[in-house]
Structure 1
Amino acid sequence: MKKRRMLLMSSLLVIVANLAACSMQRGQAEERQVAPEFPLKVSNVLPAMEDGELTYALVSDTPFEGTLNRVFYSGSPDATVMQFFDESLLATDAEFLITNEGAATYEISDDNKTITLTIKDGVKWSDGEPVKASDLLYTYQLLGHPDYVGTRYTFMVSNVEGMPAYHNGETKEISGISVSEDEKTIAITFTEATPSMLSGIWTVPTPRHHIGDVMTGEVTIEDIVSSDKIRKNPIGFGPYKITKIVPGESVLYERNESYWRGRPALQSIVLKVVSSASILEVLKKGEADIASIPADQYENAKAIDNIEILADVDTSYTYIGFKLGKWDARTGENRLDPNAKLADKRVRQAMWHAMDTKTIGEVLYHGLRFPATSLILPIFKNFHDASVKGRPYNPEKAKALLDEAGFVDVDGDGFREDAEGNKLVLHFASMSGGEMAEPIAQYYIQNWADVGLNVKLVDGRLHEFNSFYDRVQADDPKIDLFQAAWGTGTDPDPAGLYGRQAAFNYSRYTSAKNDELLAAGTSEKAFDINYRRDIYNEWQQLMWEDVPIAPTDYRYSLIGVNKRVVNFSIDPASDYSLPWVWGVAE
């Protein structure tokens, strides 16, 4: 045991630049590892070229899947591809609340149950057809369709009046949605009034005329998912339109001359997939104008003189998920398994305490990642509970919890058996990607070994992004715990990730108290921000106690931008955050 640990730690020391040594000098690390201040907007104020071309790097170690439709996609790479040609009808502000600045305006009824959207004049799909109110209706018809197998039939869809009956195949109409004769206005009525209407409502239309009509039998859901209409030649009403796709590798966009806001600044955008290992060289050579920069490469990125680095705290977090059950496709619910290896919450609490996330953030990521404490991010200033401190690195506390749970080393091999005295091996799934993926996974495995838990990588290796999520989502019995990440979206409601009916709830955790609090957080009472804050504070405390997942880090998102780029910002409150104004100077 001691020899194995020494060999592992020796290799880690080489790979992660004395990570363990820095761990033993935590106080010094805290003094020197301070996240720097970053700008949110580029400094170049020169006029944009009339017909410039910008190259956008999608930094990924795996091809993008290419499901280019909001109803059916699953991964963030596809979302990145869609941002240039696809939009919601309603815009949002810096607090992620809907506004009237988008392609439609809205009004809400006095009882807070009905929202009415009116599409502005001149809003057209990139093929010249008008965007219709029935195109938004079609999105809801797809999301709620009995044959829909995606993961987005969540509360803000099921709460539409009449949606459950439609979803169960009892009717072909959604009684809570009505469209005006002139196709400019759509009214959506919800069964329960909810403040999530202001931040989580679906307003992305789907071009029925382009992809075909499920409601008439012209196509099936299965036809759409595999169709070239969303994989090779999708359309939107955003500032650019796709003219060529090399599947998984690159996309060429051209200016959408009929864009409703006005003529976009750029003539064309080239999006290409670039590996995390290559991105700094690509930026240095000027082969990409905009790209995310892996935090572990920040020090080297600072030396590239033809780019500026913008950054802000991201709307995402990394976590360790514990497999506690399975998804029941028949009922559309998560089901706990009382015999899961990690069913005892004290073991999960111990595993969180055993992880030295602080040192990883400070040393490997130069202070650009910091320990996550709660499942509602600090960006949601009204709802993040700062009094929840997470479970800081504390191996002795972890050992005490494991002892209390009856997980003790019976045979003296250095690893604990389970509460029944059986050999315990926990199989850990983690993704490949970037030079730090393997060492971080191994470091956590060593952290757990330090408290007596025998954790091994599933199949002895890391897994590619798409296959990793396929296995996690399918509840592969080989996986006991996994490392993943979430982008939270704009609605603080966590039900879409942790609810009983949430397909994204990959831990499969459920409890009556969780149901109660999630329902209360989107109830009519929750229009009172103080009430909603209290509910979400209680929910954060519940998740801290039950630990279905252990959040490991919040992070800064770093964006490298070539100094020729103008009118670009990562501030969501800025007009320069919209791709149609981005440009390049001479």
Structure 2
Amino acid sequence: MSRRRFLLGTALAVGALALAGPAAAQSPRRGGTLTAIVQPEPVTLTSAINTAAPTGFISGNVFDGLVDYDLDLKPRPALAENWEIAPDALSITFRLRRGVKWHDGQPFTAADVKWTLENVWKTIHPRNQATFGRVRAVETPDNHTVVLRLSEPSLAILSSVNSNGAQILPKHLYEGTDILSNPYNNKPVGTGAFVFKEWSRGNHIVLERNPDYWDKDKPYLDRIVFRVIPDAAARAAALEKGEVQYAAFSPVPLKDAERLGKLPTLRVETRGYEWLSPWLFFDLNVDNPQLKDVRVRRAIAHAIDRQAIARIVWYGFGKPAISPVPSTLAAFHDESVPQYPFNPKRAEALLDEAGFTRGPDGVRFSLTHDFIPYGDDYKRTGEYLKQALKRVGIEVTIRSQDTASFTKRVYGDRDFDISSTWFAAFSDPQVGVTRAYWSGWIGKNTPWTNGSGYRNPEIDGLIAQAQGEADQAKRIALFKQFQQIVQRDLPSIPLIELRFFSLHAADLKDVVTRGDQIYGSLKNAWFDGPRADSKSTEAKNTEAKSN
């Protein structure tokens, strides 16, 4: 089967499943343990302080957000039963669900939302300082009402109030503590469908069913065990043998996806990532003596064949990117941005012009590349960069490390030349894109922000202006101007718009029910088969105690 036919077949299969959903609806069965893979191992389990993908994958099961997003990315009720924007767009009112409890039994109230917004979202969260920057006051007229008073309209807020975008922390466990070092970051207490049970470092993380969950009769699963399996071949084998029933974020080598997708016991799924709009890019450290010259940055861009990265390195699971605002954000995306087509001769000319001529050994200068340690696909991207730049006279050394070391090196110490990573743009550039360019993040050791060290007062001004603009057409124009400038200055090189996939057991049903599923709860998932008992483990334990 050709790669193209496989991708087409996957898409058709997913579409067929979606179409068949209502007609083939079955009653969910309760019980069973879902074994999933998380890779790499998270550095913490709370997305409110760390927005890394492995953290979000687990954390969304422990915490609920004010809303969820359906497959069309429309908000739907979660902890907030309803909400309204004032006619002048200067306030947003959320009416909270009653009777919700934190996992330690304390009531969830408006005070938790107010405290988290004021002390986490607006202060230490890498995306939300921009998203909630126009909130001038938070009012809580009663325990179940939260009113955000805005200095200017902020249309992006409702695009980012799910459990990942704006995770709410329990005030009674965090108030008065050092939030970043609070022990509950690694033994989280949430309001979600699953309760944190255990974290065996290097081995597994265990969540158990929340018996007091507000969404009646859910979750259906008794527990979820997230296994840490660093080796890609071992992950593929665990899925094939049925030892693992769910894995996300393209969990196996892309070359193995076609083979595993043919097995009757497994399904390839591409839904559930719609909220992300992810893109892969190189960050160029603009404080580096060579990379501070824009001609060198442009030369590197011309030396890279993005079609080859998409086709060969990523096996077609992505398409070339021309802007940090992906084409999936169609209204905001600008196709007219400065572009740097693959042209090694142009790259060499720019390097000569910048004064970096080849030495006797053919080398102009040397750089170090640090790739995000999320698997072999990212390492192969680094190996491609090494080959591409060697062709134009730049020697590249590839450096690998764990996630904590990578984020400290890039976003704290800034001890790197070129790094590769991916960001989620989400459904509005204000939420996911501007963090990569706003100068206020530089060197703050906040992962997934401005790694390049790019400083441009004009860009900072455009970001601030777009945050407070109430007219969406004007916001779009501002973001198109933003794209023109950053692609001219090129502190980062967009590579490809990623197309992630998940693998799950054929008998695992309703694993995707929302557009932000990958960072959401598996409360709707259930096993159709012997993995699910007629009575849940919880029910059996209750019977055993009564006997």
Tell me if TM exceeds 0.5: yes
Please show how residues 477-496 of structure 1 align to structure 2 within 5 Å. 477=415, 479-493=416-430, 494-496=433-435
Q: Which residue of 2 aligns with 1:379?
A: 328
Q: Which residue of 2 aligns with 1:63?
A: 41
Q: Which residue of 1 aligns with 2:154?
A: 194
The one-character-per-residue Cα deviations of 1:93-145 (angstroms, maximum 9, x if unpaired) are: 44645444653422222221211211122222223322110001121232278
Q: CA deviation at 1:380?
A: 1.5
Query: Contact 2:270 / 2:499 at 8 angstroms: preserved in 1?
Result: yes
2:234 equivalent to 1:278 = yes
Q: CA deviation at 1:412?
A: 3.5
The one-character-per-residue Cα deviations of 1:28-67 (angstroms, maximum 9, x if unpaired) are: x999997654216587855432223222221x2x4321x2
2:480 equivalent to 1:537 = yes
Which residue identity does 2:425 align to in structure 1? Answer: T
Q: Which residue of 1 aligns with 2:537?
A: none
What is the rounded CA distance, in whole Å, between the counterparts of 1:440 and 1:356 in structure 2? 11
For residues 545 and 570 of structure 1, do their structure 2 counterparts lie closer, same or farther at Cα, with a shift above 3 Å needed?
farther
2:193 equivalent to 1:244 = no
Please show how residues 150-229 of structure 1 align to structure 2 within 5 Å. 151=126, 154-161=129-136, 176-180=137-141, 182-200=142-160, 203-209=166-172, 211-214=173-176, 220-221=177-178, 224-229=179-184
What is the rounded CA distance, in whole Å, between the counterparts of 1:570 and 1:389 in structure 2? 38
What is the rounded CA distance, in whole Å, between the counterparts of 1:30 and 1:353 in structure 2? 27
Which residue identity does 2:185 align to in structure 1? Answer: I
Q: CA deviation at 1:86?
A: 0.6
Q: Which residue of 1 aligns with 2:468?
A: 523
Which residue identity does 2:83 align to in structure 1? Answer: Y
Partner residue of 1:51 out of 10, 25, 31: 31
What is the rounded CA distance, in whole Å, between the counterparts of 1:517 and 1:502 in structure 2? 16
What is the rounded CA distance, in whole Å, between the counterparts of 1:567 and 1:266 in structure 2? 12
Partner residue of 1:498 out of 430, 437, 456: 437
Q: CA deviation at 1:300?
A: 3.0
For residues 95 and 532 of structure 1, do their structure 2 counterparts lie closer, same or farther at Cα, with a shift above 3 Å needed?
farther
Q: CA deviation at 1:309?
A: 0.7
Paired residue secondary structure (1:379): coil
Q: CA deviation at 1:401?
A: 2.2
Q: CA deviation at 1:472?
A: 0.7
Partner residue of 1:428 out of 353, 369, 384: 369
What is the rounded CA distance, in whole Å, between the counterparts of 2:78 and 2:319 in structure 1? 35
For residues 143 and 431 of structure 1, do their structure 2 counterparts lie closer, same or farther at Cα, with a shift above 3 Å needed?
closer
Please show how residues 119-134 of structure 1 align to structure 2 within 5 Å. 119-134=96-111
What is the rounded CA distance, in whole Å, between the counterparts of 2:202 and 2:139 in structure 1? 38
For residues 137 and 555 of structure 1, do their structure 2 counterparts lie closer, same or farther at Cα, with a shift above 3 Å needed?
same
Task: Please list every run of 5 or more consecutive structure 2 residues that lacks an aligned counterpart in the other structure.
Answer: 443-448, 530-547
What is the rounded CA distance, in whole Å, between the counterparts of 1:107 and 1:352 in structure 2? 45
Q: CA deviation at 1:321?
A: 0.5
What is the rounded CA distance, in whole Å, between the counterparts of 1:469 and 1:343 in structure 2? 21
For this pair of structures, how many residues does the alignment match? Answer: 502
Query: Contact 2:59 / 2:519 at 8 angstroms: preserved in 1?
Result: no
Query: Contact 1:374 / 1:540 at 8 angstroms: preserved in 2?
Result: yes
Q: CA deviation at 1:315?
A: 2.5
2:400 equivalent to 1:444 = no
Query: Contact 2:414 / 2:451 at 8 angstroms: preserved in 1?
Result: no
Query: Contact 1:356 / 1:444 at 8 angstroms: preserved in 2?
Result: no
For residues 273 and 486 of structure 1, do their structure 2 counterparts lie closer, same or farther at Cα, with a shift above 3 Å needed?
same
What is the rounded CA distance, in whole Å, between the counterparts of 1:502 and 1:414 in structure 2? 37
For residues 389 and 277 of structure 1, do their structure 2 counterparts lie closer, same or farther at Cα, with a shift above 3 Å needed?
farther
Query: Contact 1:507 / 1:549 at 8 angstroms: preserved in 2?
Result: yes
What is the rounded CA distance, in whole Å, between the counterparts of 1:193 and 1:186 in structure 2? 17
Q: Which residue of 1 aligns with 2:277?
A: 315
**Which stretch of the first structure deviates more once superposed, 30-39 or 129-138?**
30-39
Task: Please list every run of 5 or more consecutive structure 1 residues that lacks an aligned counterpart in the other structure.
Answer: 1-28, 162-175, 215-219, 326-338, 417-423
For residues 151 and 571 of structure 1, do their structure 2 counterparts lie closer, same or farther at Cα, with a shift above 3 Å needed?
closer
Query: Contact 1:568 / 1:577 at 8 angstroms: preserved in 2?
Result: no
What is the rounded CA distance, in whole Å, between the counterparts of 2:195 and 2:319 in structure 1? 38
For residues 582 and 439 of structure 1, do their structure 2 counterparts lie closer, same or farther at Cα, with a shift above 3 Å needed?
closer
Paired residue secondary structure (2:93): strand
Percent of paired sites with the same residue: 25
Query: Contact 1:84 / 1:240 at 8 angstroms: preserved in 2?
Result: yes
